[in-house]
Chains A and B, each alone.
Chain A
Amino acid sequence: MDYSQFLAMKQEIALLVVFLLVFLYDTFMPKKAQNATAAFTTVVFAIFTVLSIADMFCPCSTADATAFAGMYVTGPVIMAIKNILNIGVLIVLIQSIKWANGEFMIVRRGEFYELLLVTLFGMYLMISARHFLLFLIGLESASLPLAAMVAFDKKRYESHEAAVKYLLTAVFSSAVFMMGLSFVYGLAGSLYFSDINLMIFGENSALAVVALAFVIAGVGFKLSLVPFHLWTADVYQGAPTSATSYLSVISKGATAFAFLVVMVQAFGMFYEEVWQWMLYALIILTITVGNLFAIRQKNLKRFLAFSSISQAGYIMLGVIAFNATGVASLMYYVLVYIFSNLAAFGVIGAIENATGKVDMDDYNGLSTTNPRLSFCMMLAMFSLAGIPPFAGFFSKFFIFAGALQQGTIAIYILVLIALINTIVSLYYYLLVVKAMYIKTEEPCQIPTFRSACTERLGLWISVAGILVLGVGAVFYNYLLEMTTSLGLFGSIM
């Protein structure tokens, strides 16, 4: 066996090293030093992220590589999406330090970070897998530890309820997914993506369509596409805010890209006739239902849950685009979404840690007591709603432009529906702005407080991202040039 192919997995191996360091630190350091586990994890992960990004630009790094007889691949675009996720995870880690140093976390704070790193490892595998077996391992290890993270608020009933809901849905959906896989195997006789794509072509049987539907349903659960979204709101509300933010941006972003890979590489031949229309319906449902349900939410975490459902619908436009622009736009959308959503969760987390309040009514008049936090929140809302000059506008525009490159009337109608939905989403995002800035008649429920410096650091990074990522065009240009030069199939290998 040629052991050098392990080198292709350098990102995964580095992540494992981070995991081991955190694990050893948490297990063997004296009690006093364990107070710094959160900070230690963040610092080590930051070093890993910097190295990983530096590696991406280093001319010495090998561009494309496959390992294990093609089960695992990596390339510039795949490295880029992993680095995008790394940046997001880093912000989540920074934001979680204050919470992790809390009173009742003393004995368990190491576990949280270990579980988090394991799920990230699973997501890496999902992105790089070109064989369904490896994909499944990634999917499982990205899902199941998350249930433990959701249950981390041991003393809160909602946290347990959320964990159980998440676990049961996760298990059920992976059962469905595996059912689909068995059909696929029956049809194609192989679980390699490339083999499936070749064998299934022309096999226009009902079984192939059912298999495809099962696979979409299995992954759709993790993306919380409607109608597989029912767990989302309760889990987001019940989980500790750090877990929620991780779940809503990193898990979603990774799965979106993995979904793109599966649909293009394994079922690309079915695009025209079958899954384009399945996804078409799913996108319309997801965006519309997510938006309409978000309007009535009073709890901000539930609110962001529904908002993230509709955002997932927009992300899927990058998949239905089925071209290189779509790939770049999807990655860029995930990047911008990470910054915008984490800014929102940063504010919510800071206020929750200081006062325990998460209802929108509590935010009435927040601009009078905490002007900086409300400013961050407003920027996050504007960016999520797609208002220029903030990054969200650019990511929305480009994902629509990517989809419209298909040029069929059906896609134009789809984008029009999505665009009309942005108006609905603007309405509820503005409700938050309205609560903070306009409803100032009564004194605010949240007193003036100074948030922890780590929370402020997290918010600074997120806000900087919101302001810079869009107007500074280099980020999108870099991604788009990379994907167009490699082509749709080449960029995701």
Chain B
Amino acid sequence: MFDNILIYFVLIPLIMLAGVALSQNIKQIRAVAVTGSLALTALSVYLLVDYLALRAAGETAPMLYTGSWQWFAPLNINLAVGVDGISIAMLILSSIILLTGSFASWTIAQPKAFFLWLILLSTGVFGFFITIDLFAMFMFYEVALIPMYLLIGVWGSGKKNYSAMKLTLMLMGGSAFLMLSLIGIYYNSGLFSWNIVEIAQDGNISHSWQMFLFPMAFVGFGVLGAMFPFHTWSPDGHASAPTAVSMLHAGVLMKLGGYGCFRVAIYLMPQAANELAWIFLILTGISVVYGAFSACVQTDLKYINAYSSVSHCGLVLFAILMLNTTAMTGAIMQMLSHGLMTALFFALIGMIYGRTHTRDVREMGGLMKIMPYLAVCYVIAGMASLGLPGLSGFVAEMTIFIGSFEQGMIDFLHGHGSLRLVFTIIACCSIVITAVYILRVVGKLLLGPVQDDHHRQLTDATWWERTATATLIICVAAIGCFPNFFESLIKFTFSPDIFKVLGMIQ
């Protein structure tokens, strides 16, 4: 069991949990958190390099590093692990955000309990990305959800009780649909297997069952991906959460939604995905535009960013539903790009809030003069968000729109209606709206006159804050400048015998 590299993605967080539990003071807790997340980052980068090398050497299996250990044997439930390029991208994202999140919560109150819950949450996240067994996946998914309640409820701000409860109940509501769908897949695939790869290859879920189970699975994960009209937990939840939790939640947890929609709903039930895509295209199209518009009228920095997340995550689901390789590549890029960028945003907002004790845009101004480092970082994050070439947002959105336009044209020319085309055009508008709210905030918050004279005494970023933000900015820029390797990351996930969708549609 321990010769499989993937198992360490769960073991290291568990060791970290024990380490934090045994720590005596805040220094030890910080040391454990930073060492552990550095180890995870190193491990995931090593995995990436090794994965690319294996692929270059001619591995064509859909999942590598697979392993399977019996768990609930009579029900065929195994602890099966395996990764492909998409999972590896998500693992890197999660470990970087855990690392920077640890730096961002350097001076948190009650550090021990906080880090325990935070690391438990990341255990769930890592576990979710490495497993290919539906049961284990679902279990890790719920493990990642429940710590949010206490993290927001205890360490949050504003109307934290309301937000924490709303977030937990809505996400658990999603997982209720999901559970039904997963058990349904188990009984109806004809294999009595929970293994995703097996079901995708040999499973045969009848058309009518697909039409019944697919919407449940998609909605179940879609709630976490902030799909309209199930997005309402997101603004409240993000606004009330403490910094590191907002980072992890917007950066990683919302990606669980997108990843799950692809890996479970579409991967296993491609026929229904193809036929029912239009419903969800409309819904996600609405999230993209509606989220962006909502962000324009908010005055609380966190609300602005939370609605912006709704818009960007909507784009991920939107791209996945295009069911073609280009858009899918874009979706993976967007997941990474949005994860890093929004984590950067939330980290910066937390840092600014920690100094000014307000998140209201109207009460702040001229921060560029007072805290130039943070302000410059904020501008970079903003530019990434509105899609400036050279940063990650540009490559991701560009790829998505090219892919979806491509698919829209194919649909249109084959007489399958113009829905994809129309919604691609509508979704494109969101870029412009994004520019409106980003530039509005940058202008008001960073430039212009100083609104409050007390703000003049504030200090710029400390070293741990600089570490956190610099790491994220480097990653954002790296994706923007070297997007090529993504193609090789997701290439084999789409080999035709696995991904029946492509074979079917094109």
Contacts and interface: CB of A to CB of B under 8 A. Distances in A.
Interface of A: 325, 382, 387-389, 393, 397-398, 400-401, 404-405, 407, 412, 415-416, 419-420, 422-423, 426-427, 430, 433-434, 437-438, 473, 476-477, 480-481, 484
B73 A423 contact: no
Given A423-B169, A433-B149, A480-B75, A407 B187 contact: yes
A484 B74 contact: yes
Given A404-B187, A437-B154, A477-B74, 19 more contacts: A393-B142, A397-B135, A397-B179, A400-B180, A404-B184, A405-B187, A407-B187, A415-B183, A419-B176, A419-B177, A422-B176, A423-B173, A423-B176, A427-B169, A430-B165, A433-B149, A434-B161, A438-B153, A473-B73
A434 B71 contact: no
Contact of B153 (A387, A389, A412, A437): A437
A404 B169 contact: no
B404 interface: no
A437 B117 CA distance: 13
A419 B179 contact: yes
Contacts of A415: 180, 183
A438 B176 contact: no
Contact of A400 (B71, B183, B188): B183
Contacts of A393: 139, 142
Given A423-B169, A426-B169, A437-B150, A398 B187 contact: no
B183 A404 contact: yes
Interface string B165-181: 10011001100110110
Contacts of A420: 173, 176
Contacts of A407: 187-188
25 contacts: A325-B75, A382-B146, A388-B139, A389-B139, A393-B139, A393-B142, A400-B179, A400-B180, A400-B183, A401-B183, A404-B180, A416-B180, A419-B180, A420-B173, A423-B172, A426-B169, A430-B149, A437-B153, A437-B154, A438-B161, A473-B72, A477-B72, A477-B73, A480-B72, A480-B75
B262 interface: no
Instruction: Tell which of B75, B160, B172 has the most Cβ of chain A within 10 Å.
Output: B75
Nearest to B155: A438
A407 to B, nearest CB: 6
A380 to B, nearest CB: 14
A39 B232 CA distance: 55
Interface in B92-146: 135, 139-140, 142-143, 146
A476 B135 CA distance: 15
A438 B162 CA distance: 12
A400 B175 CA distance: 14
Contacts of B165: 427, 430, 434
A325 B187 CA distance: 13
A382 B75 CA distance: 24
Given A387-B142, A420-B173, A481 B183 contact: no
A48 B173 CA distance: 44
B186 interface: yes
Contacts of B164: 438
A422 B77 CA distance: 23
A217 B380 CA distance: 69
Contacts of B160: 438
A484 B73 CA distance: 12
A412 B176 contact: no
Interface string B363-393: 0000000000000000000000000000000
Per CB-CB distance, the 5 closest pairs between chain A and chain B, nearest first, are A419-B176, A438-B153, A480-B74, A388-B139, A473-B72
Interface in B55-98: 71-75, 77
Contacts of B72: 473, 476-477, 480
Q: Give the interface size class of chain B.
A: 20 to 34
Interface in B207-221: 212
A473 B187 contact: no
A74 to B, nearest CB: 23
B498 to A, nearest CB: 27
A430 B173 CA distance: 14
Contacts of A434: 153, 161, 165
Contacts of B74: 477, 480-481, 484
A339 B143 CA distance: 20
Contacts of B161: 434, 438
Instruction: Tell which of B135, B143, B168, B179 has the most Cβ of chain A within 10 Å.
Output: B179
B180 A398 contact: no
Nearest to A325: B75
A487 B146 CA distance: 37
B121 to A, nearest CB: 13
Nearest to A329: B75
Contacts of A389: 139, 143
A407 B206 CA distance: 13
A412 B142 contact: no
A404 B172 CA distance: 20
Contacts of B212: 412
A481 B75 CA distance: 10
A325 B143 CA distance: 25
B21 to A, nearest CB: 12
Contacts of A382: 146
Contacts of B150: 433, 437-438
A363 to B, nearest CB: 15
B15 to A, nearest CB: 16
B33 to A, nearest CB: 21
A184 to B, nearest CB: 35
Interface in B459-482: none
Nearest to A389: B143
Contacts of A426: 168-169, 172
B180 A412 contact: yes
Nearest to B152: A438
B148 to A, nearest CB: 11
Nearest to A420: B176
Nearest to A479: B74
Given A393-B139, A426-B169, A437-B153, A473 B176 contact: no
A398 B75 contact: yes
Contacts of A397: 135, 179, 183
B352 to A, nearest CB: 26
Contacts of B176: 416, 419-420, 422-423
Contacts of B153: 434, 437-438
A401 B154 CA distance: 35
A415 B212 CA distance: 14
Contacts of A405: 187
Contacts of A430: 149, 165, 168
Nearest to A482: B74
Contacts of B135: 397
Contacts of B173: 420, 423
Instruction: Tell which of A405, A415, A419 has the most Cβ of chain B within 10 Å.
Output: A419
Contacts of A416: 176-177, 180
A437 B160 CA distance: 13
Contacts of B179: 397, 400, 419
Contacts of B177: 416, 419
Contacts of B73: 473, 477
Nearest to B140: A388
A416 B183 CA distance: 11
A388 B142 contact: yes
Nearest to A483: B74
A380 B75 CA distance: 26
B183 A438 contact: no
A438 B176 CA distance: 26
Contacts of B139: 388-389, 393
Nearest to A485: B74
Contacts of A484: 74
Contacts of A325: 75
Nearest to B74: A480
A381 to B, nearest CB: 11
A314 to B, nearest CB: 13
A127 to B, nearest CB: 23
Interface in B186-217: 186-188, 212
